Structure 1
């Protein structure tokens, strides 16, 4: 397994259904779908704001949401406290 450089973000509660954070830079979204519906544990980008959003509740279709992936254990995402730091690291098979 190979690991990417870790990224630490400050997650804060938004709308009582997701944790959001600003990213160090905007991800390109030009060829992405117009939007998506999300399930608990989905990791997304909200294109209009350029922020990361991790859902702890399901949400209907929302224009501008782009799914990046999903948590392996969605119930493990802390809902409380409202704001906390989280470390992200990408693992690859290479």
Structure 2
């Protein structure tokens, strides 16, 4: 009986080792396997996420053209257009508006730092901002909705509160 238990133990151990060593691919092979349908595409750089959609901000006989990014928050903003809304200056670096209806930030990765010319959404407050000066100390809770293409100086040179009409630009 003792021999049988010993033999059984050896058999179980051998089967276990055989099962573990049956994997013919190395870790390096698995990392480079592109035929695996579970592999996710690498995140595209921000520059590739820009869309063909533009919006126009009109105020005081001036215009600002913004090219929107292709993300769910940008699409939610576009769905609220056209808008006529008052912008106010915030800390001498950005112009902000508080939207009547907050944007859905689901499925959008916040974490971008702002830079001059960004059109962004700050989900914790529900406001949209146009950054007209560099902002090294900005929060990283921003969702960048778009980037100013033209008229940046019009935002920089306006002082105080001002009313803006925002419309989607058709081609």
TM-score by length of 2: 0.48
Give the structure 2 partner of residue 43 of structure 1.
119
TM-score by length of 1: 0.82
Q: Give unpaired runs (5+ residues) of structure 1.
A: none
Q: Distance in 2 between matches of 1:37 and 1:27?
A: 19
Q: Distance in 2 between matches of 1:67 and 1:14?
A: 17
User: Hey, which bits of structure 1, 4+ residues long, moved more than 3 A?
Assistant: none
Give the structure 1 partner of residue 102 of structure 2.
26
Higher helix share: 2
Q: Which has the higher contact order (CA 8 A, sep 6+)?
A: 1
**Deviations 1:4-61, CA, capped at 9 Å, x for gaps:** 8521110000011000011120000022123211221110000100111111012235
Q: How does 1:3-82 map to 2 (within 5 A)?
A: 5-60=81-136, 62-73=139-150, 74-82=152-160
The count of residues paired between Structure 1 and Structure 2 equals 91
**Bigger radius of gyration, 1 or 2?**
2
Q: Give unpaired runs (5+ residues) of structure 2.
A: 1-54, 56-77
Q: Distance in 2 between matches of 1:65 and 1:47?
A: 7
- CA shift at 1:78, angstroms? 4.5
Higher strand share: 1
- CA shift at 1:92, angstroms? 3.9
Q: Distance in 2 between matches of 1:63 and 1:81?
A: 26
| Aligned alpha-carbon RMSD (Å) | 2.0
